[in-house]
Amino acid sequence: MDDANLNRAARSTAEACFANAGQVCTSGERIIVHDNIHDQFVSAMVREAGNVKLGSPFEAETTYGPLIDEQLASKVDRHVTDAVGKGGKVRSGGKRAAGFPTNLYYEATVIDGVQTSMMINREETFGPVVPIIRARSLHEALEIADTSEYGLSASIFTENMNTAFQFAERMPAGTVEINAPPTYWHPFYPTGGMRKSGIGREGGKYSLLEMSQLKTVIIDISSESISDQAR
């Protein structure tokens, strides 16, 4: 939202989209930004992308390593190509990185002008891409969010808790973070999705419940149903 701490939002978005090359189940897949701060946010994300260091995941200074296989890398290629073909603008990256042991390394990518009709909005990219969509209000942002079939995790960045709780109530996602990246996770809270992002919850007692068979026993203890001996 336009009252968000911009630096915090940009850092968290970079973490959500670039960590593990975007190959996390709760990675940032669509970034919906209020019109009033759109240009500043895009500039901040380009700076964040410029700070990314590709390389071996075993090196401490590496931000992320390669994509898992050619099938996934080809999907990232298709999503970026589709977005550009439909009017999206690559502000950073946008292609596979050269000079690495395999061609599965992908540049930290920022794409502006993303529309809801694009594949990058409707499907999971699962790569190091920041697709930026404009919105003029919370209501419009939620309408845009509703164009996805998925609902695992979502974040909102705002300094207004009324706005944050409206989003949390209306957003069709299993987990909602406020001023934190969607990749935040703790083993004790219930984790799971809505829509095509899964059924049920895991984490803490919810993991035990998923592996349990519940049995309900009903006893009528009224005097008419219990014999004198039982009483």
pTM assigned to the model = 0.89
Q: What is the pLDDT of residue 199?
A: 85
Domains of the chain, start order: 6-188 (3.40.309.10)
Other CB atoms within 10 Å distance of the CB of residue 143: 13
Q: Which helix (H) or strand (E) holds 76?
A: helix 70-85
Q: Report the distance separating Cα 231 and Cα 225, nearest Å.
A: 10
pLDDT tens, 113-148? 999 999 999 999 999 999 999 999 999 999 999 999
Q: Is the pLDDT of residue 168 over 90?
A: yes
Q: Which residue has the higher pLDDT, 228 or 220?
A: 220
Q: Are 108 and 101 in contact (CB under 8 A)?
A: no
Taken in order 167, 185, 144, 201, is the CA torsion positive or negative? negative
Q: What is the pLDDT of residue 198?
A: 86
Q: Is the pLDDT of residue 224 over 80?
A: no
Q: Report the distance separating Cα 82 and Cα 90, nearest Å.
A: 12
Rounded average pLDDT over 54-66 = 96
Angle at 63 between CA 49 and CA 94, to 5 degrees: 40
Q: What is the pLDDT of residue 185?
A: 83
- The chain-wide mean pLDDT, for the chain, equals 94
Q: Report the distance separating Cα 26 and Cα 189, nearest Å.
A: 15
Q: Is the pLDDT of residue 167 over 60?
A: yes
Q: Where are the beta strands (DSSP E) in 19-117?
A: 31-34, 89-92, 109-112
Name every residue whose Cβ is closer than 8 Å to that of residue 15 and which is 6 or more positions away in sequence: 181, 183
